[in-house]
Amino acid sequence: MEKNSLIILAAGKGKRMNSDLPKALTNLNGICLIENLLNTINKTKYKDVSIIVGFNGQMIIERFVDKSYNFFWQKEQLGTGHAVKQAEEFLKDKYDNHLILNGDSPFTSKETIENIIDAHETDKSVITMATLKLENFQGDNNCFCHFGRIIRDNNGDVLKIVEFKDATEAEKNITEVNPAIYCISDKWIWKNLEKIKNNNNQNEYYLTDLIQIARLEGLRVNSITSCNAFEMMGVNTSDELLKAQEIYQKTKNS
């Protein structure tokens, strides 16, 4: 039995892109966002990949129909926690852990994927997550200002994640943010997805709530902190797409 599966969230509509394409199929320098990520995954040893599709999801399925990916439909856009749950029946009890990635984060590196899974297996936490530590939200870092904020306890452990729309002004000043990459144990995730509530400003079931659920159970959340803003960026708007193209070219030519 393969120990680890990868789940890619790609159900988003991307309405801020002014496009009828699923957000994950947005073109970035000649290749779509999710294909950038899948090409990186193909360089790892992890081959069991599930993709959650939603808005115009058939376009994603048809794009990769000749690949050995599993596809699951999120018919309603009810949040990331709800999205992952769509794969439960297929994935449950077949793996030890699941690494959850975003189809609109094209620059996630092979090293990050491998490091998070390795750290998770070594630490034996129920959750291992990536965090991004910035100096500020100025310049190229401006695209991270709406990311969820990492709240740590007095011991420096992750206590919870507060989404930007739900954050206080003090919390918005925190410069450690959530790039939404998680490795979660199979036995723990499915029973605890049931506990997520949608009592937030978006009325959605946030995957991030699992952090607080783990802490309330007295469990430690393991974290791997990066300072590499480029690989952690997501592409959610036309402006962010332009910025990603600009940074990509700058990085490519350096």
Query: Which residues are annotated as catalytic?
Result: 16
Query: How far is Cα 129 from Cα 106, in angstroms, rounded to an integer?
Result: 18
User: How many CB atoms neighbour CB 105 within 10 A?
Assistant: 24
Query: How far is Cα 57 from Cα 73, in angstroms, rounded to an integer?
Result: 8
Residues 6+ apart with CB under 8 A from 222: 119, 120, 123, 125, 127, 128, 129
User: How many CB atoms neighbour CB 73 within 10 A?
Assistant: 15
- Note the helical H segments in the chain: 33-41, 57-63, 80-85, 88-91, 110-123, 169-172, 186-193, 209-216, 229-232, 238-253
Residues 6+ apart with CB under 8 A from 209: 81, 195, 196, 197
Sign of CA dihedral 3, 129, 113, 189: positive
User: How many CB atoms neighbour CB 140 within 10 A?
Assistant: 15
